[in-house]
Amino acid sequence: MIRRAAFSLLRPYFRLTRGMTLGAQGVIIDRDERVLLIRHAYQPGWRFPGGGVEWRETLEEALARELFEETGVRVAGRPRLHGVFGNFTTFPSDHVALFLIREWEQAHVPEPNREIAAQGFFPRDAVPEDTVRPVRQRLAEIFEGAELSGHW
């Protein structure tokens, strides 16, 4: 609750100080074609792991950093860009770059903490009921050939 309130208070600051925000998220796929999803402690629903791109950081560097921080996953091969999507529900010029990752390793699974409440691998066609709509849409694009949308 405190994080959600802080985020709401900081939203106007981010809008004034950043012309555009950019995030990198990863679809981590295991050998059984399951996908790794996370559930944040401060917002509902299951999502892909990832986060914001910092100053002087490439998309792939941000992706690698966020995946390791949130899930303990280290990217082993080159991630493949699935698409860049406009996510205008939070910020009027937010974008998310989504990567497919099939080559990776996870030496440890971080304990739940103040940011990440849970993580798990799920069959792509049997994700938790409260998986957010953008994740369901991206999975349909990736695995079922659904038409690619430009919006998150």
What CATH number has the domain bearing residue 110?
Answer: 3.90.79.10
Residue 40: per-residue pLDDT: 97
Residue 60: per-residue pLDDT: 97
115 domain residue, yes or no = yes
Residue 3 binned pLDDT confidence (cut-offs 50, 70, 90)? low
> What domain count does the chain have?
1
151 domain residue, yes or no = no
Q: For the residues of 12-28, what is the DSSP string, one character each?
A: HHHHHH-S-EEEEEEEE
Distance CA 119, CA 108 (A): 12
For residue 91 the two structure tokens come to: 């910020």
Q: What is the pTM of this model?
A: 0.86
User: Tokens 């009921």 correspond to what residue?
Assistant: 129
Mean pLDDT for all residues in the chain = 91
For residue 8 the two structure tokens come to: 């709401």
Residue 89 binned pLDDT confidence (cut-offs 50, 70, 90)? confident
121 domain residue, yes or no = yes
152 domain residue, yes or no = no
149 domain residue, yes or no = no
112 domain residue, yes or no = yes
- Range of the structural domain that residue 115 is part of: 2-144
